[in-house]
Amino acid sequence: MLTQSRLYQEIHQQPDSLARLLDQQTTTIRALAHTIRDRGITNVVVAARGSSDNAGRYAQYLLGGVNHLPVALTTPSLFSIYQQPPRFAPDTLVLGISQSGKSPDIVSVLAEAERQGQLTAVFTNVPDSDLARNARHVIDLCAGEERSIAATKTYTGELAAIALLSALLSDDEMRLSALHEVPVFVQETLALNAAIAQTAERYRYMNDCVVIGRGYNYASAFEVALKLKELTYTMAEPYSSADFLHGPLALIQQGFPALVISPIGALSQEMLRFLGQLQEREAEILCISNDPAALAYAHRPLPMPVISEWLSPIAAVIPGQLFAMHLAYAKNYDPDHPRGLRKVTETR
């Protein structure tokens, strides 16, 4: 039964794992925030792969917009394969994000950052990993063992750790209070499980689609697309809604599936116009949103709770996780053992 799968169980463990992270790691992340301020950090470089790289995209928006820290994603092969590491700018935080902390290319970035004397920190689910041993600050994601190959609770843990760092850097009690409500919002979203299972049945013969988000949920588009690829073998391509208009829009014809992530926020009106363009081209629209106007465009709406835009990726990814899991089941694939994949991928 699907409910006995590791993936199902780990998706449904997310409210508890998020609450545990917020309870157990606030002091550790507060210490990192103090160090960032004390050292006058002016920019952040993220080293990550896979789902963790998608968490880095969230950091680009949140730490960039709220904390005014430019965030760049590294090119790890420059450190590991080419052995031509760039010189980090002065006053840089090099942040490793990795569920396992084992991938040699990510470890090599943190090791070089240490050699250059930069401030280093790691968000990982394995606090005694190789990656953690190369960082001054180690934040445990507190997710518990994640046995399913597809990352779920570790991904939302990474998002929550980034959100907690941002709130503590801002010294904003209202943001901290909002963040502590997130496990409740995630629990509410999980209540949609049965409805999403029915929706997935409609798409059991889907072979390709696009997944579209923007702003804070640009990261969500990449993560949901990744889940569809690895669990259902669907050619799911992620895009910003802005980038999509610069050419890929030509893909859209009658019945082409487009999953749009559009919670209420600064981009609401733009996303409504975008959904209107998809509708004009007769796309098959699925929509993850808490905006009734956006959901009205969808052939299959995937609602989520009303939550502050800066925190919305933590909740918005949940319907995507559930949809990918149920679609895998509808296609008669084993959600715990995607073909050709291993839990820990060690790239150089």
The answer to whether position 342 is within a domain reads no
Report yes or no on 76 lying in a domain.
Answer: yes
pLDDT at position 346: 58
Residue 348 domain-assigned (yes or no): no
Render pLDDT for 300-342 as a digit per residue (tens, 0 to 9).
999 999 999 999 999 999 999 999 999 999 999 999 988 766 6
Query: What pTM value is reported for the model?
Result: 0.96
Classify the C-alpha dihedral 191-156-270-253 as positive or negative.
negative
Question: What pLDDT score does 338 carry?
Answer: 85
Classify residue 3 by its DSSP letter: G
Are residues 120 and 197 located together in one domain of the fold?
no
Q: Answer whether residue 198 shows pLDDT above 90.
A: yes
Residues 292 and 326 in one domain: yes
Q: Residue 134's domain is classified under what CATH number? A: 3.40.50.10490
Secondary structure class of 306 (helix, strand, coil) = coil
**Structure confidence at residue 221 as a pLDDT band (50, 70, 90):** very high
Q: Are 100 and 130 in contact (CB under 8 A)?
A: no
pLDDT value at residue 173: 95
Domain shared by 173 and 194, yes or no:
no
- The whole-number average pLDDT for the span 180-200 is 97
pLDDT value at position 339? 77
pLDDT of residue 340: 66
256: domain range?
Answer: 184-330
Q: What is the pLDDT of residue 342?
A: 62
**345 belongs to a structural domain:** no
* Beta bridge mates, 95: 46, 121
What pLDDT, on a 0 to 100 scale, did the predictor assign at position 343?
Answer: 53
Q: Is the predicted pLDDT of residue 348 greater than 90, yes or no?
A: no
pLDDT of 345 above 70: no
Residues 74 and 150 in one domain: yes
pLDDT at 203 over 80: yes
Do 192 and 320 lie in one domain? The reply is yes
Regarding whether 91 and 155 lie in a shared domain, the answer is yes
Question: Cα separations (Å) of 296 from 7, 180, 221, 299?
Answer: 30, 30, 20, 8
pLDDT band at 86 (very low <50, low <70, confident <90, very high): very high
Per residue in 235-271, pLDDT (tens digit) is: 999 999 999 999 999 999 999 999 999 999 999 999 9
Same-domain check for residues 227 and 162: no
Quickly state the pLDDT bin for 1 (edges 50, 70, 90): confident
Please state, in angstroms and rounded to a whole number, the distance separating the CA atoms of residues 112 and 315. 35
Please say whether the beta carbons of 9 and 58 come within 8 A: no
pLDDT in tens, 123-176: 999 999 999 999 999 999 999 999 999 999 999 999 999 999 999 999 999 999
For residue 346, being part of any structural domain is answered with no
Claim to verify: residue 152 and residue 194 sit in the same structural domain: no
Environment class of 27 (CB within 10 Å of its CB; exposed 0-12, middle 13-18, buried 19+): exposed
DSSP 42-103: -EEEEE--THHHHHHHHHHHHHHHTT---EEE--THHHHTS--PPPPPSSEEEEEEESSS--
Residue 196 lies in a domain: yes
Do residue 146 and residue 198 come from a single domain?
no
Residues 160 and 285 in one domain: no
For residue range 10-36, list pLDDT tens digits in order. Answer: 999 999 999 999 999 999 999 999 999
pLDDT at 240: 97
The per-residue pLDDT for 33 is: 98
80 within a domain of the structure (yes/no):
yes
Residue 344, pLDDT > 90, answer: no
Same domain, 189 and 295: yes
21 and 44: one domain? Answer: yes
81 occurs within a structural domain:
yes
Task: Quote the number of domains for the chain.
Answer: 2
